[in-house]
Amino acid sequence: MQKSAGSEIDFSDTDRLVKAAGQEGVSLLITLWPYVEWDATASEDRCTVEDGDPFSRDIGVYRCNPTDWDAYRAWVIAVVERYDGDGIDDMEGLRVPVKHWEVMNEPDLADPVAPDSPIRAGTPGPGEGSEDVRHPPVPTPPTPEGGSLRFYLGNASDYAELLIRTNSAIKAADSDARTVIAGAAGGSDTFLDFYREVFENEEARAAFDIGNVHCISNDYVSSFNAVPYREMLGEFGLEDRPFWVTEAEAFVSSDAAVTATAIRRATQNALDAGAERIFYTTPNFEQPAGGNEIPPLSALDQTFANLAADADLSEAITQPDEVYARILAEFL
């Protein structure tokens, strides 16, 4: 978007996205990526992802914090200001202002996962009752070129600084905007311990308005990881902090009706745990987003294995949109 510090920002791509959403009356949650090649520290090899990274074309190969914080702050302010809807320096034709900004994505996603790592068997954690299902976290997926997926190469202290500085810039541009912390990659301690380290920083705990967790059919599927995430927030006095599940799926079987029922139950459990909003990853019940493998049915608790008997969602294959509408209608 910007070729050098202080240069003109190219908003053409983001303008198209925001305009398209506005035409449909859709409010956006936009992720702010803090990377730009001209601000990379070339000597820091540890900050460069390996060849084959699937996101290198979109967000570059440098995955550490900015070095020119002033340039980064100016960029964040300009981006937020353009879409905040206050009538000052707004995008022409803005219909639906952007009021939610996510600070990066899954900085806790670590790689590689050692073969003897406890997360491969499922890390014990907070109980969720008889319907609790523990899948191991999805390992960092390999790419055709042999690379792997890493969104961030900094540590928890680095992310705390990024969160604090980004939130400050967001609020400088739009005091009504809401800062969403990066989504945790799962609900096991493997992921949540990263955020525990972030929250050791008191200023970081105050630098976001909305918590954020993901469930890519991993860890505590029966609540989309909402239960362990809420409990982790509570450890730091943040039990009343709103949180969302911004990537949610529960592909627990090759039987679409079973998966649809699991998603319905997980939705209920996540809302009961305090999740305010849930973003589903895919509009069908047969194939996970990104081509991830479906966990085998034998890995499930017996309660979830019995979901196949729930025949009221048997049309999940032929009418997935209708099934999602029915699920949403129960909770709206």
Task: Specify the amino acid at residue 156.
Answer: A
Instruction: Please give the average per-residue pLDDT across 38-67, as a whole number.
Output: 85
Query: Is beta strand 275-280 parallel, antiparallel or unpaired with respect to 243-249?
Result: parallel
Q: Do 220 and 228 touch, CB atoms closer than 8 A? A: yes
For residues 38-57, give the mean pLDDT. 81
104 domain-assigned: yes
Q: Does 307 reside within a domain?
A: yes
Residue-wise pLDDT for 133-185, tens only, equals 444 444 444 443 444 679 999 999 999 999 999 999 999 999 999 999 999 99
Nearest residue to 30 via CA among 12, 39, 19, 17: 17
Radius of gyration of the chain (CA): 20
Domain membership of residue 4 (yes or no) is no
Altogether, the residues listed in the chain come to a count of: 332
Say which residues have a Cβ less than 8 Å from residue 321's Cβ, sequence separation at least 6. Answer: 283
| Domain membership of residue 73 as a residue range | 14-331
Q: What CATH number should be reported for the domain holding residue 71?
A: 3.20.20
pLDDT in tens, 261-296: 889 989 999 999 999 999 999 988 887 766 666 655
Distance from the Cα of residue 258 to its chain's centroid = 25
Residue 263 in any domain: the answer is yes
3 occurs within a structural domain: no
* pLDDT at residue 300 tops 60: no
Q: What pLDDT shows up at residue 205?
A: 99
Q: CB-based contacts of 262: which residues, under 8 Å, 6+ apart?
A: 221, 222, 250, 252, 253, 304, 307
pLDDT tens-digit profile of 309-331?
455 676 777 888 888 888 888 88
Q: Is residue 177, in this structure, part of any structural domain at all? A: yes
Q: Is residue 75 part of a domain?
A: yes
- The answer to whether residue 255 is domain-embedded is yes
Which positions ≥6 away from 75 have C-beta within 8 Å? 1, 2, 9
* Count of structural domains, the chain: 1
Kindly report the number of other CB atoms within 10 A of residue 159's CB atom: 24
